[in-house]
Structure 1
Amino acid sequence: MNIAITTTRNPDESLINKAYGISKELDIPYVKRGNYSIKKISEMNKIECFLFVEKDKIVLKGEDNAFFWHPNTSEIKMKAIKEGLNQPMVEAMDLKSGDRVLDCTLGLATDAIVFASIVGENGMVVGTEVNKYIACITKNGLKYYEDVDAQTKIFMDMIDVINSSYEDYILSMPDDSFDVVYFDPMFKIPNKKSVSINALRPFAHQEGLKKETLMEALRVCKNRVVIKERVGSGEFERLGIQKCYGNSKFGSIAYGVIEK
């Protein structure tokens, strides 16, 4: 995919410098915005997608999609946990204060923020994201997004974003590096109502989990591997997962667990 970086109209010097820095980091061209529309600069430069550096965020825009970072449902989930409401993801992860978590499919880091809130400042949350553009947008969002409370910002700052495939990262890790390893692969049965996920889908890694990867994940974890999937997708059966948490209704989200 042909991608370049630009800014909003009439950018100040700091915005231009930020765009230049990201262009070097991602090894993509910087295009001066001028007073042109998105469609016009795309046609002029023959670019399919642009990373737009705005004052408070970075937006990846294609012809029919726009993707930017926001905390999504993380704050809602943390509030539910605080109120003692049943959360299948929390039950499946079985995290404790001070635990180390590897989120292999970071995306927007929605679940990673929740993990950070449970393991606390003595714990550790590492997230791998294979797509360098998504990794850049998420890392920037976690660092600079301000429309959250102070406690949530602490949890966001805890997350270490690694631009790598989870296969390569797991292979590089020694035994028992993490307490829990988590996978949330792109669903084969998409949720058409989820605007943010549907915008991310064209840029996301969509290859299914391999059994060999799960075996490596078991090697680097101390306690368990957790996989998020939709009931009825056939993935739990394909991977030989028998222990699940969540609703058993077809199409519902469930969390498969493999104990160490």
Structure 2
Amino acid sequence: MNMGVTTIRNYSRSVREEAEERAKVLSLPYVPREGTLEDMAERFHMDGFLIYGKKQPSFWTEGEEYRFHLGTAVLRTTQLERGNKDRLCRLLPEERPLSVLDATFGQGGDSTVISWFLGKEGAVTSLEKSIALYEIGRAGLSSFDGGSERMTEALRSIRLLHEDFRSFLQKAEPKSFDVIYFDTMFRAPVKREVNRMEGFRRAASYDRLDEEILKLALHIARKRIIVKERPFSPLFQNSLFSSVHSHKGQSTAYGVIDL
């Protein structure tokens, strides 16, 4: 994707300077804001823009915009507070402290819930290949108001890296994380017409899991690998999986590899 960095229409000097600085850090071209984003995209041959302003930066592409938000993380942590189980968190090993690698940060919902759930007894490192989603996530984790002290602490404690999970696993130290979690983007999204996340989907990476990646993860994980996929995914037929957790009527399932 050919991407640039720009500002909101009515920007201050500090906003412009932030946009220029982040453009340098991300090795992206800075494009001064002039007119509509559609006109700028055509004029400068851009597919999308990271937009900086007074609030959280956003990503724009083809009329769709995405910015950091907590999404269902609030609902999930509320249920946990009430004593209910979370489908993902219940699969985490009981031993504490626990280090978790979320290999596919995306919108950050799972990383946030895991970080909230583990609290001071855990450490969450997340990877994001997409430069747009990394930058949106970086800004969100560092400054977004979680609405409660515990949620804000959960956001601040996540370590987000702009990394591709394949190359990261190839160079990671053996047995350096207790748990490795994968939730790759579905090419055929669940409830696409309801979710309305086209801006996010266009920015996302669609790297797929395969046996090679799972075997790399086996060398890095100490206790468990968890994979979120469709219940009918051929990946779950691999003999590496110890169990697959799915329920009737649910569109996703979790595969577990115990070490």
Query: Which bracket does the TM-score occupy, shorter chain normalised?
Result: over 0.9
Pick closer, same or farther for the CA change 1:63–1:239 going to 2, 3 Å: farther
Runs of at least 5 residues in structure 2 that lack an aligned partner in the other structure: none
- Does the 8 A contact of 1:92 with 1:256 survive in 2? no
Q: Deviations over 1:37-78 (max 9, x none)?
A: 222222332322111112111111111432211111111111
Secondary structure (helix, strand or coil) at the match of 1:120 reads helix
Matched AA of 1:17: E
Deviates more, 1:98-107 or 1:230-239: 230-239
Q: Which residue of 2 aligns with 1:13?
A: 13
Q: Which residue of 1 aligns with 2:227?
A: 227
- TM-score w.r.t. length of structure 1: 0.92
Secondary structure (helix, strand or coil) at the match of 1:121 reads helix
Q: Distance in 2 between matches of 1:248 and 1:23?
A: 47
Pick closer, same or farther for the CA change 1:64–1:40 going to 2, 3 Å: closer
Deviates more, 1:94-103 or 1:52-61: 94-103
Q: Which residue of 2 aligns with 1:119?
A: 118
Q: Which residue of 2 aligns with 1:155?
A: 154
Asked whether 1:132 is paired with 2:131, we answer yes
Q: Which residue of 2 aligns with 1:209?
A: 209
Q: Distance in 2 between matches of 1:233 and 1:74?
A: 25
Matched AA of 1:93: L
Q: Distance in 1 between matches of 2:165 and 2:6?
A: 30
Identity percentage over the alignment?
26
Matched AA of 1:33: R
Pick closer, same or farther for the CA change 1:189–1:47 going to 2, 3 Å: closer
Asked whether 1:80 is paired with 2:95, we answer no
Matched AA of 1:125: V
Q: Distance in 2 between matches of 1:241 and 1:37?
A: 50
| Shift, 1:215, TM fit | 1.4
Q: Distance in 2 between matches of 1:173 and 1:43?
A: 41
Runs of at least 5 residues in structure 1 that lack an aligned partner in the other structure: none
CA-atom RMSD in angstroms: 1.8
Pick closer, same or farther for the CA change 1:213–1:3 going to 2, 3 Å: same
- Does the 8 A contact of 2:103 with 2:127 survive in 1? yes
Q: Distance in 1 between matches of 2:196 and 2:232?
A: 22
Matches within 5 A, 1:36-47: 36-47=35-46
Q: Deviations over 1:79-103 (max 9, x none)?
A: 1112122322122223554210000
Count of residues paired in the alignment: 257
Q: Which residue of 2 aligns with 1:62?
A: 61
Q: Deviations over 1:171-195 (max 9, x none)?
A: 2222221111000011243121222
Q: Distance in 2 between matches of 1:233 and 1:29?
A: 39
Q: Deviations over 1:120-159 (max 9, x none)?
A: 2242100011112211110111112125222111000111
Q: Distance in 2 between matches of 1:117 and 1:96?
A: 16
